Amino acid sequence: MTTVLPELGRDLADPEVFKREFLEELRFGQGVVRERATSNDLFMALGRTVRQALMARWIDTLDHQMAAEAKFVAYLSAEFLLGRQLDNALLAADLEQTARQALAELGIDIDQLKGAEVEPGLGNGGLGRLAACYMDSLATMAIPAVGYGIRYEYGIFRQEFLEGRQKERPDTWLTLGNPWEFPHPEMAKTVGFGGHVEAAAGDSGTQRRRWVPATEVLGVPYNYMVPGYRCGTVNTLRLWSAQAPQGFDLKIFNTGDYDRAVKAQNEAENITKVLYPEDSTPQGKRLRLQQQYFFVACSIRDFFDLLPHDTAMQRLPERVVFQLNDTHPVIGIPEFMRILIDEKGLEWEEAWEITQRCFAYTCHTLLPEALEVWPVSLLESMLPRHMELIYEINDWFLRELREAYPGDEPRIRRMSIIQESPERSVRMAYLATVAASRVNGVAELHSQLLREKVLRDFAEHRPDKFTNVTNGVTPRRFVRLANPGLSALVTERIGDGWLTDLEQLRNLEPYADDADFRAAFAQVKRANKVRAVEMLARRDGLTISPDTMFDVMVKRLHEYKRQTLKLLHIVSVHQRVRSGELDPGTLVPRTVLFGAKAAPGYRTAKEIIALINAVAAEVNNDPAVQGRLVVGFPANYNVTLAETLIPAADLSEQISLAGKEASGTGNMKFALNGALTVGTLDGANVEILELVGSENFFLFGLNEAQVVQTQEQGYRPGSYYESDPRLRQAIDSIASGQYSGGDTAAFGQIVDVLLNSDPFLALADFGSYLDAQERAEAAYQDGEAWTRSAILNVARCGFFSSDRSIKDYLDRIWHATPIPVR
């Protein structure tokens, strides 16, 4: 039977057809008439109309991929920070103009509807957004891929400020309905927890083990389309939602004990209730591990179900590679082994060999405290069979090590997957490293530090496993959609090939010396600033002038990222103006914009947020710097806000302590949108600097080796405080209550940490940072030269496309090939 959908898909490009389908969706999909439709009704109908255009391709894609017996990339990630979907779907389906025209003819403002979409915030930051960029690139490059994750009922919290302090509100992203998801309850998977392991007889009398779980939970898949950019491929993102197998207990309910009747149901549903619940409590830890096992078990089962049932297990590596996005899905390794051994009846060696070939691991951090460990006691009670398998994996591994390093017990203890103190625990990063065929860091420097420090013993043992894939970002969302002005300008000069081959931006280089082009480029930047100013006025009540330098620092709040260093710069300028040292007339008028969420349980980070808001309040109300220095801190930084702020930025703040930021991806987005970076030699900054050239980048600070040296020599922040009057003045002004209405205790903790330990060397880098800021200011004064540098940043950063990253993953790790659909 032929489906009518392909026809429909083609016809939708005709505004008349689009209009008709939209009205049908409104009437028959949403069930309302035009006159009484709310903006949400209109948004839902529009979303449904656009997805019609992608539906036929979606179905065809899987058909083609299965028919080709293709190898799939299964991207296992606890987070996918998608951002709004409508604009991206319109772009992918090439329906932007049609939809705009069709809706305009109906008297509907499409931009208003776009603004009504609540973004799915199913991630914390860089790691989750990277997963979303990679899904976009995989589809655009026609690679058979499935994203597997969790459909959190509540995503990343909504941030509000109450008297300058962060308050977290639940992210109710699903309350108004969601046109992008397709639930498939009939395809639910069963996941076990707890219970015990028993001996079972295998074929030919062998001893086998069998897990008998105590409880079961259902995983219901919700499918999301991942449309490639103007190609036939629409891949799938499959997010799992937890449900109780039996719903509630009707018998207990009828006795009137309503709470107990829904207890099992609540317990099951809690698993996917919220993104990264607090894990400072034992219950929180448990829940987090439950989430991890839940989504990974569903995903692996799903993949087995997808394959033809006669697929030989030995051929699995030809059909799938599971990419572990950090350690969160690493429990998938023993799960996979369990299926191969306990269910499929494979012997250990064979199962292990297949598992290794089917898994690869990406590490996203350098902070030792961020490497997950799970107490053995917790694993034993929640996943007893998995714990047995982990022990066995470790046994085999330690045997291998004893052979390779006879007598070197310290080394063997260091490398054991099990750590003994302070509590017997499983080191998930080690388990991943031992099992995976490849281990990659996310920027050159990061991969080097992984090899030399974090995973040094492992890299010495198996150097062949270690590789690098520098992160990238999708140019579709972060240039084409976020910066339509720049996109049009670029396309006008070099054609639109850059959208899928970002290195073509190189062709812009000659235009850096073309005065007309520079004028047009500067005009785009100004328009983006005006757009940001309007949005921040509406959204946050901020008053900002577009005729100031936009100095932007947006990222999660973390001490290692050093928002405090940026603050010290602001405070220093403010204080020097107040004391008469600095003539405000000589300052380049500057608007500093922050955006940052702090983890709800991270006290220091929340204090820093309060300090930023306190400094902003003082500075913005001080006539001494009026119009010359403004600080804005819009609440609830998210993908949507990023899409407006990044294209408006002149200066990009990438100022983490060298050796701490694995890569960063915001840094790439800024450079690609024509902001100049002030940054340290950290993460992918190193590669940005190399590409754009030091004359187009404001480098400052200690490098990683110097950081280590400084610390080894016994770092004393006090000595910097004592020897730099600007630093003293800045810190003293905070300590003396100038930003807290005279309350000297208000920010005492921050001051105390800075002066006494300063673990991220803000004081050591302060002087060099101020110099870099002065260089930036001087450079900004020459508008033509600045614009030239900005253009060169754009032209030279094509490397940072996530398409290039995916190509690297394909060549170095996955070895999957494209299956174009049409």
Q: How far is the CB of 445 from ligand F58 (least distance, A)?
A: 11
Closest CA to 103 of 32, 45, 178, 181: 45
User: In the complex with ligand F58, which residue's Cβ is closer, 338 or 364?
Assistant: 364
User: In the complex with ligand F58, which residue's Cβ is closer, 134 or 720?
Assistant: 134
User: In the complex with ligand F58, which residue's Cβ is closer, 662 or 727?
Assistant: 662
Q: From the centroid of its chain, how far is CA 140? A: 19
Q: Which of 364, 518, 525, 796 is catalytic?
A: 364
Is there a catalytic annotation at residue 465? no
User: In the complex with ligand F58, which residue's Cβ is closer, 281 or 817?
Assistant: 281
Q: Which of 669, 726, 796, 804 is catalytic?
A: 669
User: In the complex with ligand F58, which residue's Cβ is closer, 277 or 674?
Assistant: 277
Closest CA to 625 of 652, 600, 588: 588
The rounded radius of gyration (Å) of the Cα atoms in the chain is 27
Q: What is d(CA 763, CA 645) in angstroms, rounded to the nearest whole number?
A: 28
Q: How far is the CB of 788 from ligand F58 (least distance, A)?
A: 28
- Taking a C-beta distance cutoff of 8 angstroms, is the pair 133, 78 a contact? no
Detail the DSSP E strand segments found in 719-765: none
Q: How far is the CB of 359 from ligand F58 (least distance, A)?
A: 18
Q: Which of 84, 477, 518, 561 is catalytic?
A: 561
- Taking a C-beta distance cutoff of 8 angstroms, is the pair 483, 490 a contact? no
Q: How far is the CB of 121 from ligand F58 (least distance, A)?
A: 12
Q: Could you give the angle at which helices 384-404 and 348-358 cross, rounded to 10 degrees?
A: 90
Is there a catalytic annotation at residue 669? yes
Could you write out the DSSP letters of every residue in 15-56? HHHHHHHHHHIIIIIS---GGG--HHHHHHHHHHHHHHHHHH
Q: Which two tokens stand for residue 554?
A: 């947006």
Check residue 222 and report its DSSP letter: E
Q: How far is the CB of 280 from ligand F58 (least distance, A)?
A: 13
Q: From the centroid of its chain, how far is CA 206? A: 46
Is there a catalytic annotation at residue 775? no
- Taking a C-beta distance cutoff of 8 angstroms, is the pair 632, 592 a contact? yes
Helix segments in 495-581, DSSP class H = 515-540, 563-578
Check residue 453 and report its DSSP letter: I
User: In the complex with ligand F58, which residue's Cβ is closer, 61 or 663?
Assistant: 663
User: In the complex with ligand F58, which residue's Cβ is closer, 442 or 544?
Assistant: 442
Q: How far is the CB of 132 from ligand F58 (least distance, A)?
A: 11
Closest CA to 640 of 527, 485, 481: 481
User: In the complex with ligand F58, which residue's Cβ is closer, 65 or 656?
Assistant: 656
Q: Which of 272, 564, 665, 677 is catalytic?
A: 665
Closest CA to 401 of 391, 421, 419, 416: 416
Q: How far is the CB of 503 from ligand F58 (least distance, A)?
A: 21
Q: What is d(CA 608, CA 567) in angstroms, rounded to the nearest whole number?
A: 9
User: In the complex with ligand F58, which residue's Cβ is closer, 662 or 763?
Assistant: 662
Report the run of H or E that residue 774 belongs to, with start and end. helix 762-781
Is there a catalytic annotation at residue 556? yes
SS3 content of the chain, % helix, strand, coil (to 5): 55, 15, 30
Q: How many helices (H) and strands (E) does the chain have?
A: 35, 25
Q: Could you give the angle at which helices 563-578 and 762-781 cross, rounded to 10 degrees?
A: 70
Q: What is d(CA 712, CA 705) in angstroms, rounded to the nearest whole number?
A: 11
Q: Which of 48, 158, 238, 555 is catalytic?
A: 555
Cβ neighbours around 309 below 10 Å, total: 6
Residue nearest to ligand F58 (CB): 126
Q: Which of 84, 476, 556, 628 is catalytic?
A: 556
Q: How far is the CB of 665 from ligand F58 (least distance, A)?
A: 5
- Interface residues with ligand F58 (CB under 6 A) are 124-127, 130, 276, 364-365, 442, 471, 661-665, 683
For residue 227, give the amino acid letter. P
Q: How far is the CB of 471 from ligand F58 (least distance, A)?
A: 5
User: In the complex with ligand F58, which residue's Cβ is closer, 665 or 789?
Assistant: 665
Q: Which two tokens stand for residue 749?
A: 């903790």
Residue 369 contacts by C-beta under 8 Å, 6 or more apart in sequence? Answer: none
Q: How far is the CB of 597 from ligand F58 (least distance, A)?
A: 11
Residues noted as catalytic: 364, 555-556, 561, 665, 669
